Amino acid sequence: MSSEPKKSHYQNRLNDLSNHDWLLFQKSWFVHNPPRRKKGVLAHPAKFPETLVREFVEFFTKEGQWVLDPMVGTGSTCLACLQCGRNSVGVDLMEKYLRIAQEWVDSYRVDHPTEVEARLIAADSRELSKLDLPEFDYCITSPPYWDMLKMRGFETQKKRRESDELDLNYSDDERDVGNLEDYNRFLEELVAIYREVHEVLKPRGYLTVIVKNVKKAGKHYPLAWDLGRRLGEFFALKDEKIWLQDNQKLAPYGMGNAWVSNTMHHYCLQFRKE
């Protein structure tokens, strides 16, 4: 009887990463301080860093697969996908931001000719299943953090008010979930969007939602936890990664009176369509 060890038939079915890079990504927290935003995308009040998106896209897909962002804004996801050879579709209500996204996509193609697709579609993501879309291998998105951009004291709003070129909120469109004042209705509308994502995602495809809990008028709203619970009704919630930003200035919220944290982390919630 042979005593030789059996050969391993290990096959990476999820991505193109080495074992070393796979293991590094499995760490439950990471520090990512986005590079300085480029002129043009500054107009968007909550830019999603493509450097972060690319790390997730490269873990959850193989080259040539399809990625969706149903709230694409100025196109970070599509640009990240172009950079790593993934086809993508970005959907957004705001044509203004989609025009900026198209400019960045076109500019990238000039210096990096590629057959990889990057489609940008002006539409309501609550109707994704009605659009002529491919079946997606992966979805990554960051929803509005409720209507927090309308709060006068919200983070960088003061600086943005001093400029005529920077938007203070996403839009004035009544369909924009970031304009809803009622938290429960806002949550329900987000859930409706992710039900549509479920419809266009392949079986065993992953969804990453990057979000954080919010504070409003002295009350804490567990948006990340509520989304984890509600989306877990039709997706399988797998785990979370914590995105830390350690280059932000500290503010003396509640000093000498009450505990109010400086929130410098986001939850990257991982779901799978079973």
Record the pTM: 0.86
Q: What's the pLDDT score for residue 86?
A: 98
Q: How many helices (H) and strands (E) does the chain have?
A: 7, 10
- Topology, domain 30-272: Rossmann fold (3.40.50)
Torsions phi, psi for 107 (to 5 deg): -65, -40
pLDDT recorded at residue 9:
65
What distance lies between CA 41 and its chain's CA centroid? 16
pLDDT at 160: 41
- Whether 206 contacts 272, CB under 8 Å: yes
| DSSP code at position 55 | H
For residue 40, give the amino acid letter. Answer: G
**The pLDDT value given to residue 49:** 86
> Over the chain (274 residues), what is each successive 10-residue block's mean pLDDT?
59 95 96 72 58 96 98 94 98 93 94 96 96 97 74 51 50 72 93 97 98 88 96 97 92 91 94 98
CA 58 to chain centre: 14
- Residue 83 tokens read as 């950079």
Distance CA 91, CA 70 (A): 5
The predicted pLDDT at position 53 comes to 96
Which H or E run contains 97?
helix 95-111
